[in-house]
Amino acid sequence: MTLFDPAAFRIQAGVTHVCAGGQTPFLHRHDAALLRYAEDKSTGSAGRARQEAMVETIRAAMARLWRVRHGDIGIVSSVAEGVSLVADSIDWRDGDNICIDAYEYPSVVGPFAVRRNPAVGLRIASGTEPDRVAALVNDRTRLIAVSAVSYLTGERFDLAPLRAAADRVGALLVVDYTQASGYLPIDAAVADFAFSACYKWMLGMTGLAIAYWNRDRQPGWTPASAGWYSFAAGTRSYEPVPGLRDDAMRFTRGNPAHAAAYVLHEALDFLSGFEMASIHRHVQTLTTSLLDRLEALQIPSTTPRDPARHGASVCIASPRAAAIAEALNDRGIYAWNGHGRVRISFHGYNGMADVDRVVAGLRDVWVAG
């Protein structure tokens, strides 16, 4: 059985869609959302007011989803933009470092890795021990950057020990929830800053990402750059330099991607019909079953077997990953390829029949190779 009705999505007949970790299929209701945006964009100031109201609606919905306050939620164009705004706001000194996992997502690491004058040291954890990132923290650590669930291996990180490690040295904890938000219950307040793309399990589209600013932990945070949208209302003079918005919309330097906001509204409304805990249980039933069956077939996975340590994806590292993914695609199984691994990701529109089909496809392709 599936949790969501697959007929609500643009999933072609005969296709097993298991690539939520890359992108999910569109909901049919998004068609009407885009049309409403087109209509509002075409109706002058009244339509613009409706666009701005939509931004506030999705901020409120995301605050409920992440269990934080409305004012703590902002909008950026991508996770990379949001992390860059945090990176640029820090007064770095020679010898400062950040702690990351060796398999961390590039958008989380890139804004720090390419910094100069001064350069930021990268303390990189390797291996599979759950505490490996926390163990690297020292008195020069300014920030811990982590994805709640790894894009590469499907590993889920326990954020509480990372919060404790950051607090011991006064460091920031920055979390990317892209591979978690939309099926995993989230308490974003564990982080100082958090971000998520919206085109995966949140069922939205590209062009808009969520930014979270923990104003209780970091009340004085100020970005190092701004645009017209991030200034307080009524700004007309630049002497003195005007103040920024007093909430997380100071992240938003230019117009938010309003079309993507309309789509995200429909996506979040759809998801609100289900308890996150129920979606989590559903996808973990599928991932656990797949992991068990892969083990029986002696097909190795880099995803931890412990349900407490994995999310909604199962990853298989292989030098033949591209060929395997292509062969699955030819069989109507939409898995995801990249970085030397095949990733099978489940959402509420999947069921055990999809696991069966994935196993049959992998068995045929693996043996054939």
Q: How many CA atoms lie within 13 A of 226 on its CB side?
A: 17
Can you tell me the mean pLDDT for 96-113? 98
**Listed residues 271, 299, 331: the one ending a domain:** 271
Residue 108 CA to residue 147 CA, distance in Å, equals 8
Q: Are residues 232 and 116 in the same domain?
A: yes
Pairwise CA distance, residues 66 & 64, whole Å? 6
Q: What is the mean pLDDT of residues 301-308?
A: 95
pLDDT of residue 369: 59
Question: What does the pLDDT average to over 100-110?
Answer: 98
| Residue 215 forms part of a structural domain | yes
For the chain, percent of residues with pLDDT exceeding 90: 95
Residue ending a domain, among 271, 295, 320, is: 271
Residue 88 reports pLDDT greater than 90: yes
Distance CA 3, CA 9 (A): 13
Residue 60 maps to a domain:
yes
**152, pLDDT greater than 90:** yes
Q: What are the structure tokens assigned to 307, written together?
A: 């349900």
- The region of weakest confidence among 35-44, 129-138, 234-243 is 234-243
Q: For 183-204, how does the pLDDT look when each residue is reduced to its tens digit (9 = 90+)? A: 999 999 999 999 999 999 999 9
Of the two residues 48 and 368, the one the predictor is more confident about is 48
Look over the chain and give the mean of its residue pLDDT values, rounded to a whole number: 96
Q: CA 212, CA 35: separation in Å to the nearest integer?
A: 29
Segments forming the whole domain that contains residue 261: 31-271
The Cα–Cα gap between 359 and 87 comes to 42
Average pLDDT, integer, range 355-366: 94
Query: Given pLDDT bands bounded at 50, 70 and 90, which one contains residue 242?
Result: confident
Residue 86 near residue 172, CB atoms below 8 Å: yes
Arithmetic mean of pLDDT, 82-106: 98
Residue 261 is encoded by which pair of tokens?
């906001």
Same domain, residue pair 10 and 75: no
Please give the torsion angle defined by the CA atoms of residues 263, 202, 77 and 54, in that order, rounded to the nearest 10 degrees: 40
CATH number at residue 17: 3.90.1150.10
Q: What is the number of other CB atoms lying within 10 angstroms of the CB of residue 234?
A: 7
1 falls within a domain: no
Residue 263 pLDDT > 70, yes or no? yes
Is the per-residue pLDDT at 357 higher than 80? yes
**Prediction pTM value:** 0.97
Report the domain count for the chain: 2
Strands 193-197 and 121-125: unpaired
Shared domain for 216 and 330, answered yes or no, is no
Angle, alpha carbons 154-347-146 (nearest 5°)? 30
Over residues 331-350, the pLDDT tens digits come to: 999 999 989 999 999 999 99
pLDDT, position 241: 84
Burial classification of residue 174, based on how many CB atoms lie within 10 Å of its CB (0-12 exposed, 13-18 middle, 19 or more buried): buried
